[in-house]
């Protein structure tokens, strides 16, 4: 009886892990672990119960993850987000000034659509694909 309970618990925990962390069931180690659990469950005659435990664990993991994400997004006030963004931008500007990359802050001289859409040389067909001169006539 203890082995069956352990299989159910193992199956539920694996499902919870997959659901909570959003892993693919096709990852090699997850697939192997799942197959081992299922084969032991078939031998013990509780395959359906183990399959349902895995599914329940996965659903619960997904729900818990979504709940934490919603909770995490709503906990931090907008002012703190803006403060963190401002401090990040200040650090970036300090780095640009310190490293001497002020040219990154200057506007582009010719930003016309015609210039931006022009085909660059590295995108053109290589010249060795052209016919040799003596064959062109």
Tens-digit pLDDT profile for residues 98-135: 666 555 555 656 666 666 666 666 677 788 888 888 88
Total residue count of the chain as it appears in this document: 137
Alpha helices in the chain (DSSP H): 2-21, 28-44, 47-75, 78-99, 113-116, 133-136
Asked whether the beta carbons of 8 and 53 are under 8 A apart, the reply is yes
pTM here is 0.52
**Confidence category of residue 84, pLDDT binned at 50, 70, 90:** confident
> Rounded mean pLDDT of 20-33?
85
List all residues 6 or more positions away from 31 whose beta carbon is below 8 Å from its beta carbon: 25
Dihedral of alpha carbons 59, 60, 65, 71, sign: positive
**Confidence category of residue 52, pLDDT binned at 50, 70, 90:** very high
Indicate the helix (H) or strand (E) that contains 131: none
User: Locate tokens 């069931």: which residue?
Assistant: 25
């Amino acid at each position: 009886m203890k082995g069956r309970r352990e299989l159910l618990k193992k199956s539920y925990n694996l499902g919870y892990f997959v659901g909570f962390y959003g892993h693919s069931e096709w990852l090699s180690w997850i697939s192997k672990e799942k197959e081992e659990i299922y084969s032991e469950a078939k031998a013990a005659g509780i395959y359906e119960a183990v399959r349902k435990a895995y599914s329940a664990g996965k659903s619960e993991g997904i729900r818990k993850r979504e709940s934490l994400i919603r909770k995490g997004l709503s906990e931090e006030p907008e002012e703190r987000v803006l403060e963190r963004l401002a401090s990040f931008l200040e650090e970036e500007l300090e780095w640009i000034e310190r490293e001497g990359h002020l040219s990154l802050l200057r506007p582009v001289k010719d930003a016309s659509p015609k210039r931006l859409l022009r085909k660059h040389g590295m995108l053109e067909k290589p010249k060795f694909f052209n016919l040799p001169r003596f064959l062109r006539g």
